[in-house]
């Protein structure tokens, strides 16, 4: 899922948002050992990202 311990970014670096990480915390193995936490975190992040996207689109339209 991740390469050489680096977080997997959901968006290319050219996007105006900070890079969203698939896992939260210092240890990526937390996402594997605690799938419930990882799921909640990714759900929360996708909601936040949706807000950012909609506000960014409304500003730039």
For tokens 């290319």, what's the residue?
12
Contacts of 8 (CB under 8 A, 6+ apart): 1, 2, 21, 22
> Above 70 in pLDDT, residue 18?
no
pTM value? 0.34
Tens of pLDDT, residue by residue over 21-56, are 544 555 656 556 666 776 777 787 788 888 888 888
pLDDT at 61: 64
What is the SS3 assignment for the chain?
Answer: CCCCCCCCECCCCCCCCCCCECCCCCCCHHHHHCHHHHHHHHHHHHHHHHHHHHHHHHHHC
């Amino acid at each position: 899922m991740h390469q050489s311990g680096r977080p997997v970014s959901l968006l290319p670096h050219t996007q105006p948002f900070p890079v969203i990480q698939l896992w939260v915390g210092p240890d990526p193995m937390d996402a594997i050992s605690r799938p419930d936490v990882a799921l909640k975190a990714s759900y929360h992040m996708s909601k936040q990202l949706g807000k950012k996207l909609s506000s960014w689109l409304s500003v730039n339209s």
